[in-house]
Amino acid sequence: MNDDAASTARAVEFWFDFGSNYSYLSMMRIEALAAARNVTIVWRPFLLGPVFRQLGFENSPFVLQKEKGAYVWKDMERQCRKYGIALTRPSTFPRAALLAMRIALLGANEPWIGAWCRRIMQLNFVDDRDIGSMDVVSDALDSVGLPVHSVIDAAQSDSNKLRLREQTELAINKGIFGAPTFFVGDEMFWGNDRLEDALDYCDAIAARH
């Protein structure tokens, strides 16, 4: 197997949105799990709102369907107990986090991407902070040791805004309908409970070569 094939076999694409509750569960687990398998994470922030609208939903199905929403938050409590992850149900759900998402895209290949994403998720799903707020985002950048003004300026550039729109369009074209979604090559896995399956698939591909 050549180096390119090997790197593909040992990589998982992680498609996520900061407003997504199940993305929160995966975000707090994926780095340790991937490192234990020697799997590279390819960070793919995208916007769920346009995906839902493409599917004919004006909001999250967890909001539009009352019974499903009630179930989901009970499920989140169980899952967070299972994983030892803190949870405070956000007073606003789902929260828009456009600037934070643009920063995630800007940093997708930077060493600080994991710390940034975990911080924003914790602010949303533990601290119940408005992650769409410039003040909250600025404080979050400072807390992870990033230069606030230069990062925000780069994230808000026309080229980076366009990249996030294009990445969201790519998600739609790949058939993504929710978050988190994982890809290993062309194989898609949807939902936090499929994270381990995606990593298992990495192992299976590597074993065949």
Catalytically annotated residues: 20
Return d(Cα 12, Cα 176) in angstroms, integer.
Answer: 15
* Phi, psi for 116 (deg, rounded to 5): -65, -50
* HSE of 58, CA atoms in CB hemisphere, 13 A: 0
Instruction: Please name which of 79, 76, 98 lies closest in space to residue 89, comparing C-alpha atoms.
Output: 76
Q: Is 58 helix (H, G, I), strand (E, B) or coil?
A: coil
Return d(Cα 196, Cα 30) in angstroms, integer.
Answer: 9
**The pair of three-digit structure tokens given for residue 79, joined into one six-digit string:** 């899952």
CB atoms < 10 A from the CB of 166, how many?
Answer: 12
CA dist 36 to 140, 161, 199, Å? 28, 34, 10
**The pair of three-digit structure tokens given for residue 190, joined into one six-digit string:** 């949807």
Torsion of CA 23, 25, 30, 32, to 10 degrees: 160
